[in-house]
Structures are given as C-alpha cells and as structure tokens.
Amino acid sequence: MVDYQQLANAIRNEVDNLILQSDTACVKSPPTARPSSWQSTSFSHLVKYKSSCTYFARFRVGGKLIRRSLKTQSLSVAKLRLTDLEGAERRANESSAALKSGRLLMGDVLNLFNSRSAENAHIKPSTRKYHEEVIKALLKTWPGLEGIDVRQITAQGCIAWAAKVAGRYSPVRHNAMVGVLRQLLNLAVDAGAIYQNPAAKVQKARIRATTLALPSREQFTRFLATIRGAGGRDSRNCADLVSFLAFGGFRKGEAANVTWADCNLQTRTITVRGDEKTGTKNWGTRAVPMTTSMVDLLERLQAERGRGSKEGPVMQVRECQKAMDRAARLVGMERITHHDLRHFFATNCIESGVDIPTVSRWLGHKDGGALAMKVYGHLRDQHSSEMARKVSFS
C-alpha cells in the first residue's frame, strides 16, 4: 500500500533542492579586484607607472588635477623635476587668477611663458637656457618690468627701450630680446589683457655679414704646432681637439661627445648622433666622411692610446680657447674660436672642389645649402674665376 504522505514529503524535498540549486547558480561570484597600474611612493604627489617604471607627478592646482610624466626612472631626478613642475604650475595658476581679477603684471606673463616652455617637449634644454639668458638681459635693461601692468606698456615705451639697448648689445642679442618681448606681449594679447601687441612695430637691428678671418693652410700648420709644443699638461690634447674640429667640421659640443664606437675606419665615416646629450643643434644624426687628415689623426690616437673602450670619448678635452688665443698671438694671426675651425673645414672643402650642398650636409645644415651659400658663396665665385682663367681657346 502506497504511503501518499511519505511520497508527498519526498516530492516537496526534491523541489526544495532544485530551487536551492537554481538560486545558488544565479549568485554571481564577486569580481576579482583589478590590479592597479600605479605604485605609490613615500613622497607626496609622486607615483610610479608599473609597466615602464617611469615616475609621474600627480597633484592639484586650483582644483585641476595635474598628472604628467617626469620622463625618468630615477627617483632623485623625479623629485627635482616634480619640484620644478609644481612651481611652474602654481605660478601659471597665479597668473591666470591675476588675469581674472583684471590686472596682469609682466611678471605673471613671464611665469606663464616659462610654464609653457617647460611643457613643450619640442623645445631643447639648450633653447630654454638661451631664453633664460635673454630674459635676464631684458629685465636688466628694463628695470621694474616685472611689476608693470601689461596695459601700461605702450608702443612708444617699447621703441624707446629698443633705442636705448641698441648700442649696448650685439645685433643678434638685441634681436633676441626684441623677439622675447614680442612673445611675452603676444601671451597677454591671447589672454585678452590687451588688444594688440605694443612691441609689434619695434624694428630689429640689421645684422651685417662678417668677413671670415681664417688662417691660411701654412698658418694653421704653425698654429697647430705651437699649441702642441706649448708644454702644458693638456697641450697635446688641445692640439688634437683643434685638429678634430678642423678636419671634421664639428660643433664643439658634438666633438666632445663623439666616441670610438662612432668612428668607423673601415667605411671612413664618423657618426654624429642627435639627442640632448650630444649637443647637436638640430637633434639630427649624420654621417661625416673622414678626410685623409682625419684618418691619419684617428689612427695616430689609436696607436698612442691603444684600443680602449668603444664608449669612451675620442677627445680628451672639451675646449681649448686659451691655448688657441696664445698660439694665435705667437704665430701672428687673427684670433679664432672653436666655431671658426668649423668654417675652416668648410672653406677648405669648397676650395678643394666639393660642392656647397654636399658641404652643407656634412656640416649638418637642414636648409639644403642656403646658409652655406650665404656664408661661403664668395669662395665659389673666387674658385670659378680661377678656373675660368685656365680656359683657353687659342
């Protein structure tokens, strides 16, 4: 006989189990916490991005969150850059607050200019340093400029300042100060503090082309021998640097950073690498072919020093102007600078028959030879005249 009560209880238990299983299946497990990409540090406003180990600044200024790469994996460097960045952002914020209040001082504009310059990754450190020097000269020649409201600066005041400065500085530095003053006042125009730039009509100084006073080849030989035989601790190294600059046409900063790994005596080329460290003007990498004199110089240096490290610098000194000045006096020739040796290289190349566009590429110019043509064009004309005199139809 079937026990209906027992059967009903069994069915009820089975249904309860099915419902319990269904409920359990519908319960979602808690989501796994996503690991953070950032790692905090023991210093305020400084964090590290884990994947690249690069340090970032993270702070608020005026209610705005600033998070910016400090472009370094070194903690000590990151702390210094963080301090500079915080200072620049807070000064820019103060300048913005001053503008909203209806009063904008030139000091506020300077802070804004420096802040934007620091943020611009396309501006090289050497350019920022040059701007600092120009601004320092500007403030020296216009006393109290930082405390002047931009609305009080007139076109006549700018012209009067430029006239006063004209004879005190070289045309190049004078024009640089005028250019920076225009940039500062353009920021005030963009900010809406003034309607038009009062320095827009200030005329720049005329730059006259200078005649190159370079030594003859005979003078250069005696000049080099005088430096080498001076008897100083670095006399031989100074002579080697003069030779390296004259035989390769490098800038002083480029020559100081050329390593033995950059010198290939098999292909007879020297690679000049463009970055912040090498000091190249345009951040461009170029290959300069070795002249016969350069090959002789490098082979002699290798024989004297041995192989050494490939990463070691070829030159043992970075500059030698005092040694050059002394030698020029003893030889009886015009004083020349490190950069004049670059001109000496280009002059000898052109007089030897190398075309100006090729020399321009060796020098690292990016204008296709326009600057070289302006500086050395007369050499081509002289060379053409000498070649024409050799032509005869009789």
The 10s digit of each residue's pLDDT in 281-320 is: 555 788 999 999 999 999 999 998 876 678 889 999 999 9
| Same domain, yes or no: 282 and 179 | no
Q: State the total domains in the chain.
A: 2
* Lowest mean pLDDT, pick from 106-110, 274-278, 351-355: 274-278
Q: Assess if residue 43 is contained within a domain.
A: no
Q: Assess if residue 347 is contained within a domain.
A: no
Which pLDDT value is given to residue 94?
65
Q: Assess if residue 90 is contained within a domain.
A: no
Q: Which residue has the higher pLDDT, 75 or 33?
A: 75
Query: Is residue 351 exposed (0-12), middle (13-18) or buried (19+ Cβ within 10 Å)?
Result: middle
Among 339, 362, 381, identify where a domain stops.
Answer: 339
Query: Is residue 2 exposed (0-12), middle (13-18) or buried (19+ Cβ within 10 Å)?
Result: exposed
pLDDT tens by residue, 187-235: 988 888 888 999 999 998 887 766 778 888 899 999 999 999 999 999 9
3-class secondary structure, 121: coil
DSSP sequence for 5-50:
HHHHHHHHHHHHHHHHHHHHHHSPPPPPPPPPSEEE-SSTTEEEET
The CA distances from residue 17 to 10, 13, 196, in Å, are: 11, 6, 84
Q: Which domain holds residue 248?
A: 217-339
Give mean pLDDT, residues 376-393: 64
Please provide residue 256's backbone torsions phi and psi, each rounded to the nearest 5 degrees.
Answer: -65, -20
| pLDDT of 28 above 50 | no
Chain Cα centroid distance, residue 61: 28
Q: Which of 16-20, 85-89, 100-104, 265-269 has the highest mean pLDDT?
A: 265-269
| Same domain, yes or no: 188 and 296 | no
Q: What percent of the chain has pLDDT over 70?
A: 80
Q: Assess if residue 39 is contained within a domain.
A: no
| Same domain, yes or no: 234 and 320 | yes
| pLDDT of 10 above 90 | no
- On average, the pLDDT of the chain sits at 83
Give mean pLDDT, residues 235-260: 94
Q: Which amino acid, one-letter code, is at 32? A: T
Full-prediction pTM beyond 0.85? no
Which pLDDT value is given to residue 44?
87
Q: Which residue has the higher pLDDT, 151 or 389?
A: 151
Query: Is residue 332 exposed (0-12), middle (13-18) or buried (19+ Cβ within 10 Å)?
Result: exposed
| Same domain, yes or no: 199 and 245 | no
Q: Assess if residue 266 is contained within a domain.
A: yes
Query: Domain of 259: which CATH number?
Result: 1.10.443.10
| Same domain, yes or no: 221 and 194 | no
| Same domain, yes or no: 138 and 196 | yes
- d(CA 188, CA 195) in angstroms, rounded, equals 9
| Same domain, yes or no: 308 and 253 | yes
Q: Is the alpha carbon torsion for 290, 293, 299, 302 positive or negative?
A: negative
| Same domain, yes or no: 246 and 317 | yes
376 within 8 A of 347, measured Cβ to Cβ:
yes
Q: Assess if residue 393 is contained within a domain.
A: no
- d(CA 206, CA 300) in angstroms, rounded, equals 46
Which pLDDT value is given to residue 299?
94
Q: Which of 79-88, 162-171, 178-187, 270-279 has the highest mean pLDDT?
A: 178-187
70 within 8 A of 82, measured Cβ to Cβ:
yes
| Same domain, yes or no: 225 and 332 | yes
Helices (H), 191-277: 217-228, 235-248, 252-256
